[in-house]
Amino acid sequence: MSLHDHAPVEPGYEVHTHHGDYIRIWAILVVLLVVSVAGPFFGHPLVTLVTAFGIAVVKAYLVAKNFMHINVAPRYVAYLVGTCLMFMLLFFAGAAPDVMKSDGTNWNKPAWVAAHEAAVHGGAGHGEAAHHE
Amino acid sequence: MSASPIATTRTAAGMPTGRLAVWWVIASEIVIFGGLLGSYIMFRLSHDAFAAQAAHTNTWIGAVNTLVLLTSSLFAVLGHKAADAGDGPKAARLLYLTAGGGLLFASIKFLYEWPHEIHEGFTISSGTFWSFYYTAAGIHAAHVIAGVVIMLIIAPRAKRNLDLHRVELIGLYWHFVDVVWIFLFPLLYIAK
């Protein structure tokens, strides 16, 4: 019996997805979640960085590949998504110097420096003054 | 003569137009969330005080909500599988379970987590970290609620074996919402 014998889906609706073992993928994602939560308990910043963000990238890849089936979509879908990710990186590269540096050629942020010093010395200020420049 | 929607019949782009449209939505959402998360990362890396403020978020609540979203994504993809098999009633049941996951996620956030934090004095105006926190999590939660509403609209027709392709389309959107949370979770709850 074919699909359309009992499933009145619209004509043209293509059924091509290869369905894998989704429960196994979900179990892997849960294990990775546990690892990412456990990471900070080691008390090492590098371990936390890897277990938090490294694992986030792996989890996102697993979801995109196995649940969203991006690997079987036409190639241009990956290019479309990749282009938008590149825009994100471009935005970051363009804006980060202004946000993350306290000075540069012919400019500086005295309030930003003052707020940092206040935070370091008194734990106060929370760097907020920098955002009201 | 019956009319078929263009979204399911035109395949000039190599896939049904409805699916292509959802990918376009996802691409535009990447720019929205990407800008937000990129800005957060810039401030997080350049302001040590962010770490102190982030220490007040509840990692366990974030982890439970991550588990809820991952599980609802499982239900969504199983619903897609059921729809592909032509089993509308099963696809509808799985959509309801997915929507239930979304409601549970939103309930934990709006009925427990946020009220607790606001009660502790951490509001959207308490500092830059909290502004990012409520904005990013709030926009994400709005997407969760939108997904739940769409699923509750789709499920009754899917139960009658109608418009089964929509089960896949809402699933695609839902997985993206899950992916966004996968990155929000370490940023807001783990990197302290």
Write the ipTM: 0.90
Q: What is the DSSP string of A22-83?
A: HHHHHHHHHHHHHHHHHGGGG--HHHHHIIIIIHHHHHHHHIIIIIS-TTTS-HHHHHHHHH
> Does any domain span residue B8?
no
CA-nearest residue to A113 within chain B is B47
| DSSP state for residue B109 in the 8-state scheme | I
Domain range holding B50? 16-190
pLDDT tens digits, A35-44: 999 988 888 8
Which range has highest mean pLDDT (A8-22, A82-96, A119-133, B143-157)?
B143-157
Contact yes or no for A48 and B190 at CB 8 A:
yes
> Does any domain span residue B10?
no
Residues 6 or more apart whose CB falls under 8 angstroms from that of A29 comprise A59, A62, A63, B70
> Does any domain span residue B1?
no
B4 vs A: CB within 8 A: yes
For testing contact with chain A, the best of B65, B70, B159, B185 (most A CBs within 10 A): B70
Residues 6 or more apart whose CB falls under 8 angstroms from that of B6 comprise B17
* Residue linked to tokens 């760097």: A127
Contact yes or no for B48 and A116 at CB 8 A:
yes
B-chain residues near A29 (CB < 8 A): 70
Among A37, A55, A63, whose Cβ lies nearest the Cβ of B59? A37
Q: Is the pLDDT of residue B133 over 80?
A: yes
**Mean pLDDT, to the nearest integer, of B110-126?**
94
Among A8, A22, A119, whose Cβ lies nearest the Cβ of B77? A22
pLDDT tens digits, B59-85: 999 999 999 999 999 999 999 999 999
A87 vs B: CB within 8 A: yes
Q: Is the pLDDT of residue B45 over 90?
A: no
Note which residues in 44-73 of chain B have CB less than 8 A from chain A. 45-50, 52-53, 59, 63, 66-67, 70-71, 73
The confidence band for B27, taking pLDDT boundaries of 50, 70 and 90, is: very high
What is the per-residue pLDDT for A127?
43
Among B42, B74, B162, whose Cβ lies nearest the Cβ of A8? B162
CA distance B69 to B174: 9
> Does any domain span residue B65?
yes
> Does any domain span residue B2?
no
The number of folded domains in chain B is: 1
B-chain residues near A7 (CB < 8 A): 85-88, 161, 164
Q: Name the token pair of A118.
A: 């206040």
Mean pLDDT, chain B, integer: 91
CATH no. for residue B124?
1.20.120.80
Q: Is the pLDDT of residue A5 over 50?
A: no
